[in-house]
Amino acid sequence: MPLRKKMEPKTVNNNFKSEEYFINMGPQHPATHGVLRLLLTIDGEIIKKVEPDLGYIHRSIEKMCERDSYQQIVHLTDRMDYLSSHINNEAVCLTVENALQLEVPERVKVIRTIIGELTRIASHCLWWGVMGMDVGALTTYFYGFRDREMINDIFEETCGARLTMNYNIPGGVMYDIHPNFIQRTKDFVKHFKTKIPEYDRLLTGNVIFQKRMKGVGILSKEDAISFGASGPVGRGSGYSCDVRKHHPYSALDKVTFNESLKTAGDSLARYEVRIMEMWESLSIIEQLIDNIPEGDYKVATNAVIKLPKGEYYQKVETARGELGVYMVSTGTKNPYRVKFRSPGLSNISLLNHIAVGGKIGDLVATMATLDIVVPDIDR
């Protein structure tokens, strides 16, 4: 974390060699996907140093969690990684349910998993669109959004919201799935199966794109592990870190799917991992959508939930990687401390490691493959 003091021009200039100069990328910059500020030290076009300056949208969600009851915490996690809000909600609910040793119905588990995978696809759709934009192919954005819109409609019909859904509650889900849910999801799966090959034809196969991505921003497996990379970033380096595979939660132990792994560790590998994940998510949805068991959609909990005294940890795989929820309870109706281990923070810490030596264009492309969501980093 860079110190504010360091950024004053006088101190900075003394350390610089004559050829290097300093450039301030962000907090308002099209490639930083929000209010992330990067302090770049550049020699011509070549990046010498990248210092991410975080905290521009820090909202102290962890502190707010200490104020709120366990039901109320859930809606705050929507605002962390807003692109996988359902999975964030699920993480908190699973923590609370585990602490209470509450057995949720099978139906809830399946619904949660289906919507979680839909969320993952929606997030990757948006990422794909933005990825294209960051490397200069502006049309991808709209194609990605076209498909994401269908998922958002499914969410809106069932949960009432498109982005910050707050569909999970401790003990189940808020409403039962909408009668149209199954049909719409099937339609989407059918539609999207024709669209991923289109993505590949438009962007993945493109020679310019391949040249931009291949061999750029290489992250070795050792570094991925030591930096705490998770999600597609870690798996692009051959680090098998899929929480869904290693610590299955909800209905994920009932489905068969392959963990998307690539060993190259460059930008292209991270890109391909995400494309593969879309296929895997589709297959998970297909396995579950016809087998939603009958039953209750929630189990009744006390109006005031009090967790037993102790510490609880639950990790889930969001679209960006491993999200850990650590809760300390003293037995009251509020948690004593909540800590979120967000995937974005550890992934952005890689940036200096993998972007140095590249061009400015490489930095932008590499950052896009990290798929950062700034509210997730800052919380």
Minimum CB distance to another protein smaller for 202 or for 328: 202
| Chain centre to alpha carbon of residue 268 | 18
Q: What are the E-state strand segments in 90-141?
A: none
Q: How far is the CB of 305 from another protein (least distance, A)?
A: 12
Q: How far is the CB of 302 from another protein (least distance, A)?
A: 12
Minimum CB distance to another protein smaller for 157 or for 223: 157
Q: How far is the CB of 57 from another protein (least distance, A)?
A: 16
Q: How far is the CB of 255 from another protein (least distance, A)?
A: 27
Closest CA to 377 of 161, 124, 148, 82: 82
Q: How far is the CB of 207 from another protein (least distance, A)?
A: 4
Minimum CB distance to another protein smaller for 188 or for 227: 188
Q: How far is the CB of 190 from another protein (least distance, A)?
A: 18
Nearest-angstrom CA–CA distance, 188 and 25: 38
DSSP 200: I
Minimum CB distance to another protein smaller for 165 or for 289: 165
196 close to 279: Cβ distance less than 8 angstroms: yes
Nearest-angstrom CA–CA distance, 379 and 377: 6
Tell me the β-bridge partners of 338: 327
Residues that bind another protein (CB under 8 A): 21, 23, 29-31, 45, 68, 71-72, 74-76, 78, 132-139, 141-143, 145-146, 149, 153, 156-161, 164, 166, 169, 174-175, 178, 198, 201-203, 205-212, 303, 359-362, 364
Minimum CB distance to another protein smaller for 142 or for 313: 142
- 3-class state of residue 158 by DSSP: helix
270 close to 143: Cβ distance less than 8 angstroms: no
In 360-376, which positions are buried (b, 16+ CB within 10 angstroms) versus exposed (e)? bebbbbbbbbbbbbbbb
Q: How far is the CB of 218 from another protein (least distance, A)?
A: 16
215: exposed, middle or buried (C-beta count within 10 Å: 0-12, 13-18, 19+)?
exposed
Q: How far is the CB of 95 from another protein (least distance, A)?
A: 17
Closest CA to 335 of 316, 303, 312, 301: 312
Q: Could you identify the residue written with the tokens 């969600």? A: 61
Minimum CB distance to another protein smaller for 157 or for 296: 157
**Within 13 Å, how many C-alpha atoms sit on residue 358's CB side?**
24
What does DSSP say about strands 337-341 and 172-173: parallel, antiparallel, or unpaired?
unpaired
Minimum CB distance to another protein smaller for 98 or for 164: 164
- 3-class state of residue 58 by DSSP: coil
Minimum CB distance to another protein smaller for 31 or for 288: 31
